[in-house]
C-alpha cells in the first residue's frame, strides 16, 4: 500500500491523481473514471455520466 493509494486512481482525461472521481461511459462503451474538473468537458463530448 503506497502513500497515495487513497486517491483511487487517475482521471481518464487529464491523467491527474485526484479525488473524487466519477464513473462515466466513453464512446466505446467502456467505464472510465473522470474528475470533477473534466466532468464538464465529458458532458459536452460523447461521454455519458454513469
**Phi–psi pair at 27, nearest 5 degrees:** -60, -20
Number of neighbours of residue 42 by Cβ within 10 angstroms? 21
Q: Would the pLDDT of 46 be above 80?
A: no
Residue 27 DSSP label: T
pLDDT of the residue at 19: 83
Integer Cα distance of 45 and 50 in angstroms = 14
pLDDT of residue 1: 47
* pTM of this structure: 0.67
Model confidence over 2-45: pLDDT tens digits? Answer: 555 555 689 989 999 888 898 888 888 889 999 998 888 888 87
Quickly count helices (H) and strands (E) in the chain.
Answer: 1, 3
Amino acid at each position: 500500500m503506497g502513500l497515495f493509494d487513497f486517491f483511487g486512481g487517475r482521471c481518464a482525461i487529464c491523467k491527474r491523481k485526484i479525488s473524487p472521481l466519477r464513473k462515466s461511459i466513453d464512446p466505446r462503451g467502456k467505464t472510465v473514471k473522470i474528475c470533477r474538473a473534466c466532468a464538464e468537458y465529458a458532458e459536452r463530448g460523447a461521454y455519458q455520466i454513469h
